[in-house]
Amino acid sequence: MGILEKISEIEKEIARTQKNKATEYHLGLLKAKLAKYRAQLLEPSKSASSKGEGFDVMKSGDARVALIGFPSVGKSTFLSLMTSTASEAASYEFTTLTCIPGVIEYKGANIQLLDLPGIIEGAAQGKGRGRQVIAVARTADVVIMMLDATKGEVQRSLLEKELESVGIRLNKHKPNIYFKPKKGGGISFNSTVTLTQCSEKLVQLILHEYKIFNAEVLFREDCSPDEFIDVIVGNRVYMPCLYVYNKIDQISMEEVDRLARKPNSVVISCGMKLNLDYLLEMLWEYLALTCIYTKKRGPAELGLEVTHGLRLPAERPDFSDAIILRKGASVEHVCHRIHRSLASQFKYALVWGTSTKYSPQRVGLTHTMEHEDVIQIVKK
Ligand SMILES: Nc1nc2c(ncn2[C@@H]2O[C@H](COP(=O)(O)OP(=O)(O)OP(=O)(O)O)[C@@H](O)[C@H]2O)c(=O)[nH]1
Ligand SMILES: [K+]
Ligand SMILES: [Mg+2]
């Protein structure tokens, strides 16, 4: 039996097994098996033909966004609208056959936007150019799942399933489980919270399925067996995903309203250029980027003024050249971005902005920066 058949057998068995206390272990085991076979399926094949020609686009800019969706939902139209790159759009399916990069300039950041071929059900198993598309999606910071507002919700759940099956977890955080395989000592199991979905016995069963007999496991969260399997397997990608419903010019106001209220969703029309600004705002939030401006010490601050009582103006921050960092970045991150050795010469920094109580405020390397803060670094 091939792997695909094994997978479908297990999926069928899971579907027909009633979920209750008595079947809990059996189901957990089936899920562990399923994850194992899927992993085998995804192992890169040795043949060169599976390599995607035209898919190896260099990462550039401050962040990468991948456009994923069924054929003809408007991905290429969107790229051509938001960037200076033109990507062919047409009314027939599979117009786009490779990965086409463009750049969105927003709030001083360069966001790389990747247009990709449409994907269909079975993409994860290699249908169409599904595997290459999904491989690119894994490298993104945010996925935009573009949907045709005139089509039903089934497209969305099909795509979610495809991405899920290759270890991409959308809008989920990494399960808070400490897991460390050991050389001996058996399995030590602990939890800091009450567990309602996993037990020590189930955890052991799952670990045995992966031939792990010695390990330390600590649940810090009430996780499900699937989440525990994700931790064991390890190569999961936790990806923010924005669901974008395009072509709202074709549906009723009531329907637009209903879609717009869904979590993680934005409604747009590329054709009529509706709501694109709001989409950018949402995208910015999902990318969780922070712009920091630097300011040199002016002559006044260096004590060079006082000629004829004339105050020389302090140097102005350079607002044209922001340093783009991840949300939560510290002063140390800023230093590293400016120069490799700056952190080691660091004495203190002055920060103006929302991250400090006073403007400016003297801060150390561990201070957390916020969006649009201005910083001046003083060296030893
Ligand atoms: N009514 C309407 N049509 C749109 C909108 N956006 C795109 N289209 C049309 O939808 C069709 C498909 O657009 P594409 O941009 O080629 O779609 P795609 O997702 O890139 O398609 P593939 O590359 O084939 O996967 C084109 O005929 C577009 O003109 C929109 O907002 N409203
Ligand atoms: K198309
Ligand atoms: Mg296209």
Give per-residue pLDDT as tens, 126-173: 777 788 888 899 999 999 999 999 998 899 999 999 899 888 999 999
| Whether the CB of 270 sits within 6 Å of ligand 1 | yes
Give Cα 335 to chain centroid, integer Å: 25
CA atoms lying within 13 Å on the CB side of residue 323 = 23
* Ligand 1 centroid distance, CA of 49 (Å): 29
pLDDT score recorded for residue 47: 43
Cα–Cα separations (whole angstroms), residue 198 to 15, 21, 30, 219: 20, 11, 15, 9
* Ligand 2 centroid distance, CA of 157 (Å): 21
* Ligand 3 centroid distance, CA of 85 (Å): 13
Name the residue with tokens 């050991």: 182
Radius of gyration of the chain (CA): 25
* Ligand 2 centroid distance, CA of 66 (Å): 17
Of residues 151, 122, 106, 114, the one with CA closest to residue 282: 106
> What is the distance between the alpha carbons of residues 87 and 69, in angstroms, rounded to a whole number?
15
Residue 152 DSSP SS3: coil
| Whether the CB of 155 sits within 6 Å of ligand 1 | no
Total-model pTM: 0.81
Residue 289 DSSP SS3: strand
- Four-point Cα dihedral 196, 199, 205, 209, nearest 10: 50
Name the residue with tokens 């001046």: 376
| Whether the CB of 151 sits within 6 Å of ligand 1 | no
Ligand 1 atom 27: residue of nearest CA? 91
| Whether the CB of 101 sits within 6 Å of ligand 1 | no
φ, ψ at 202 (rounded to 5°): -65, -40
300, 306 Cβ separation under 8 angstroms: no
Which tokens is 335 given? Answer: 């230093």
How many residues are given for the chain?
380
182, 213 Cβ separation under 8 angstroms: no
| Whether the CB of 129 sits within 6 Å of ligand 1 | no
Query: Ligand 1: which atom is nearest the Cα of residue 269?
Result: 31
Give per-residue pLDDT as tens, 165-178: 888 999 999 999 99
pLDDT score recorded for residue 284: 95
> What is the distance between the alpha carbons of residues 361 and 380, in angstroms, rounded to a whole number?
18
| Whether the CB of 149 sits within 6 Å of ligand 1 | no
pLDDT score recorded for residue 351: 95
> What is the distance between the alpha carbons of residues 288 and 279, in angstroms, rounded to a whole number?
14
One-letter amino acid identity for 379? Answer: K
Strands of the 63-69 sheet, one edge to the other: 100-106, 109-115, 63-69, 142-148, 241-246, 265-267
| Whether the CB of 240 sits within 6 Å of ligand 1 | no
The full DSSP string for 297-334 is PPTTTTT---BTTBPPPPPPP-TTSPEEEETT-BHHHH
The full DSSP string for 334-372 is HHHHH-TTHHHHEEEEEEESTTSSSSSEEE-TTPBP-TT
pLDDT score recorded for residue 301: 62
Q: Which helix (H) or strand (E) holds 178?
A: strand 177-181
Low-confidence ranges of the chain (pLDDT < 70): 40-54, 298-314
Residue 158: exposed, middle, or buried by beta-carbon count in 10 A (0-12, 13-18, 19+)?
Answer: middle
> What is the distance between the alpha carbons of residues 345 and 377, in angstroms, rounded to a whole number?
10
**For a substitution probing ligand 1, which of 77, 267, 279 has the most ligand atoms within 8 Å of its CB?**
77
Residue 52 DSSP SS3: coil
One-letter amino acid identity for 81? Answer: L
pLDDT score recorded for residue 346: 95
All structural domains of the chain: 3-43+175-233 (no CATH), 48-170+238-287 (3.40.50.300), 289-379 (3.10.20.30)
pLDDT score recorded for residue 365: 96
| Whether the CB of 76 sits within 6 Å of ligand 1 | yes
- Four-point Cα dihedral 237, 243, 246, 249, nearest 10: 180
**Ligand positioned closest to the Cα atom of 78:** 1
**For a substitution probing ligand 1, which of 68, 70, 72, 119 has the most ligand atoms within 8 Å of its CB?**
72
**Ligand positioned closest to the Cα atom of 273:** 1
